[in-house]
Amino acid sequence: MRIAIGSDHAGFNGKKTIADELARMGHEVIDFGVESPERKADYPDIALRVARSVASGDADRGILVCGTGIGMSITANKVRGVRAALCYDEFTARMAREHNDANVLTMGERTTSIHAMLRIVREFLGTEFAGGRHAARVDKIMEAEQNSEGC
Ligand code: RB5
């Protein structure tokens, strides 16, 4: 898979560990920064880059890490075509894919251990959308998005 990844300074260590692991797993990783934890960044700047990469089809999935995962999630969901899910364990990661067809995963390095983040990433990437009744619900989300401005 081609995976867009990014973090602010608060999520740098998680992002770096995940990016290394994804590369080891054979995925193609597009890293949108930040380049170091000393490099203070505004999380919306990074979230928009990753979200737009997924929305344009350049990346298959996106992964974003900040302090809590909340700011990344709020921002990524402003981009039309993106369904970003803040996940904090393997169950929420599985549901985000099976029920919500999430295409961007967000996590918090101040709330979730890096070890847990790696398990969450594996679950997120390894789970297919279940379709069926869930497809009709996701369609409603996308319809609502068509009626909003997006970016
Ligand atoms: C940075 O201090 C922090 O606000 C950010 O990483 C994130 O948690 C925002 O949602």
Among 49, 51, 54, which residue's Cα sits nearest to residue 2?
Answer: 54
- Residue 99 known to be catalytic: yes
| Nearest alpha carbon, ligand 1 atom 4 | 67
Stretch (H or E) spanning 83: none
10-residue mean pLDDT series, the chain (151 residues): 98 98 98 95 98 98 98 97 98 98 98 98 98 97 84 53
Cβ–ligand 1 distance for 71 under 6 Å, the answer yes
Ranges of each domain in the chain = 2-146
Pocket test for ligand 1, best of 40, 66, 111 (most atoms within 8 A of CB): 66
Among 66, 58, 60, 67, which residue's Cα sits nearest to residue 33?
Answer: 66
What's the predicted TM-score (pTM) here?
A: 0.97
Active-site pick, 9, 27, 87, 99 = 99
Q: Can you give the length of the chain in residues?
A: 151
| Nearest alpha carbon, ligand 1 atom 10 | 71
Amino acid 10: pLDDT: 98
Cβ–ligand 1 distance for 109 under 6 Å, the answer no
User: What's the Cα-to-Cα distance from 109 to each of 5, 54, 59, 66, 80, rounded to whole Å?
Assistant: 14, 22, 23, 6, 26
Amino acid 76: pLDDT: 98
If one looks up domain 2-146 in CATH, what number appears? 3.40.1400.10
Amino acid 151: pLDDT: 53
DSSP string, 115-143: HHHHHHHHHHHH-----THHHHHHHHHHH
Supply 86's token pair. Answer: 């803040």
| Nearest alpha carbon, ligand 1 atom 6 | 67
